[in-house]
Amino acid sequence: MRTLLTIALFSFGCLVQGKDITPPFALTKQDSIFVSNVIKDMKPLTYTATPTHRGVVLVMVYKDYTLIETLVDGFVEDLVELTNTEIIVYPRESE
């Protein structure tokens, strides 16, 4: 009985704790539109867009490589390509 109660309390605690987990930042409307346009153009197999304090980190997965882009104010600020053999960091575009 004590074991069952312990498991029930632990499970309830995990559920309550899970509800408190919210992302600290949300995608703005401008960021959502930009990410949507990039995804339509680049056509990755899967992608994840994570808002941060500085912008959005967009990870796009393809068959042979992964692209990681940092989007700030509607521009690609950083671009990194990960392959099976190397990591390529592209230089920033000059404004």
Residue-wise DSSP of 17-69: HHHH---S----HHHHHHHHHHHHHH--SEEEEEE-SSSEEEEEE-SSEEEEE
CB 51 within 8 A of CB 23: yes
Tokens 């009985």 sit on residue = 1
pTM as predicted: 0.68
pLDDT tens for each residue of 34-45: 888 889 998 999
* Encoded tokens for 71: 């989007």
Residue 64 has pLDDT above 90, yes or no: yes
